[in-house]
Amino acid sequence: MVNRKAFRIVKMSPQNFIISLALIIGGILLSNSELLADAGIDFEVAPGYEVKQISSGEVDPYSVDTDNGQVVWTQNEQLFFFDGETTRQLTTAPSSVYYPKISDGMIVWAGREDDTAGWEIYLYDGDNTSQLTNNSLTDFIPDIDQGQIAWRQDVGSGLSRILFFDGENVVNLSDGSYQDWDPKISKGTVAWQRNIPGIGFQLVLYDGENTITVYEGEDKPEQDWDLHDGMLVWEEYDGNDTEIYLFNGTQNVQLTDNALDEATPKIHDGNIAWSSYNFLTSTSNISFFNGNLIIPLSNNDYQNENPFTYGGQAVWSTYNWDEGHNTIYLYDGSSSINLVRSLNSLFLRGFHSSHAVFTAGFPASLYLISPTQISGYVKWQNGSPIKDAVIEAYYLQGSEESPVVTPITLIGSETLSAADGSFALPPEFDAPAQPSEFDVTKRGLRAKLTYVEEDGETTEQTIINYPNWNPL
């Protein structure tokens, strides 16, 4: 059931969309303030959320990736990065960039210096850009997770192999005897598609030690599939239509068996979202598997499509041809809300940690919709190495503009419960001194903690990658 809460209407005009160009470390600063939308686009935004325009001009809609409120994309074959506050251009012509991916603030892409150069793999670590490959072959379609990277390398004669960078070394996961492509990586596991002439297409999984064939089908590629933490989900043709299948780490499980065409599955933490197309009515709806049950998230006579899932939530877009509007919905694990609606076309491009990225308008610009309220436990540590660090936990609640910060002092080996985002302190830790003032600012799913010590010295630290940030 959709909870039809009241909307606030945001009208965006050219007067409040100002682009300022300034050189900063790592690229070009496109704006040092909140980015707003193009003239003529109205958004109806759900309470507790805000929409920001993060690009100017037309983006490549199939190049977008997002992680923790940060976004990367290509525009005119150049790489752009929204870091949660500002948008920067990380590359310049005559170089070309394709297939950017982001994880934990690290960005990987396939690039070449000019039209005559070969495609290589590049990595931006938040400060510097390094070139991971340098050869006469074509290195393409990278993916990144937790600093580990997988990509395809063409070896000639229509053959290709998958390479894996574990953070220190590059290893071959396949020998180039087949057509291997479209690698995905998650928590040390890598999966990819493989074509063996005369046999058919396969889904192959490397679990960190062994390589196994998860699926072997007819001589046609799987249209859509996804990977998370060793679990694979894909669509498979059964002779009549396509169904959704899951490899749960030990065996393959068929999740659907109906007269609909199931497509575009996405998986995270065992939760799966996909669309079901009805050829008789030319409509499609969204379903969600929570690990136990399949839950219909939409049930209408419109086009519901392009779902994403993360953290037990799901988003999808709907085109209502009766009323002529487009809506992006959010399912929070119990109910659904209209997240954002417009008479303009809205196309979902990604979803991560309660932040959804979409394109709208013509030419298509990129937008980020995020929660404006914050609630959750965070970790802060001060000192290096870790054995000498002081760790405190803070509970953040309220709005981004007016957070309520409650210090939680941990002494000795006290541990927060798992529900609170647990972490333990070694016995040698002492109770830290209490800072006298706090200023917490949300950066996507990151936070900046500024505190003033008793001697008046101001210290700032960015808190990143904490496990249990739960926006309201």
| pLDDT one-digit tens code per residue, 240-269 | 999 999 999 999 999 999 999 999 999 999
β-bridge partners, 284: 277, 303
pLDDT band of residue 4 (cuts 50, 70, 90) is very low
In the Cβ-directed half-sphere of 238, how many Cα atoms lie within 13 Å? 17
376 vs 353: CA distance, rounded Å: 13
Domain count, the chain: 2
pTM greater than the 0.85 cutoff:
no
Q: Are residues 268 and 382 in the same domain?
A: no
Are 429 and 383 within 8 A, CB to CB? no
468 in any annotated domain: no
Of the residues 353, 373, 393, which one is the last residue of a structural domain?
373
| Co-location of 393 and 294 in the same domain | no
In a domain, residue 407? The reply is: yes
Domain residues for the domain of 142 are: 2-373
Domain contains 273: yes
339 & 394 share domain:
no
Do residues 77 and 224 both lie within one domain? yes
Residues 449 and 361 in one domain: no
By the 8 A CB rule, do 242 and 261 touch?
A: yes
Is residue 472 included in any domain, yes or no? no
Whether the CB-CB separation of 146 and 187 falls below 8 Å is answered with yes
- Domain closes at, from 373, 394, 415: 373
Decide which of 321, 349, 373 is a domain's last residue: 373
User: Can you tell me the distance from the alpha carbon of 306 to that of 299, in angstroms, rounded to the nearest whole number?
Assistant: 15
| Residue 471 within a domain | no
| Residue 14 reports pLDDT greater than 60 | no
User: Over 60: is that where the pLDDT of 417 sits?
Assistant: no
- The percent of residues above 70 in pLDDT, for the chain, comes to 69
Are 310 and 446 part of one and the same domain?
no
CATH number of the structural domain spanning residue 225: 2.130.10.150
Yes or no: say if 241 and 200 are a contact pair by the CB < 8 Å rule: no
At 442-456, the pLDDT tens digits run 333 344 444 444 455
pLDDT of residue 321: 86
**Domain co-membership, 354 together with 405:** no
What is the C-alpha to C-alpha distance for residues 317 and 330, in angstroms, rounded to an integer? 9
Domain membership flag for residue 470: no
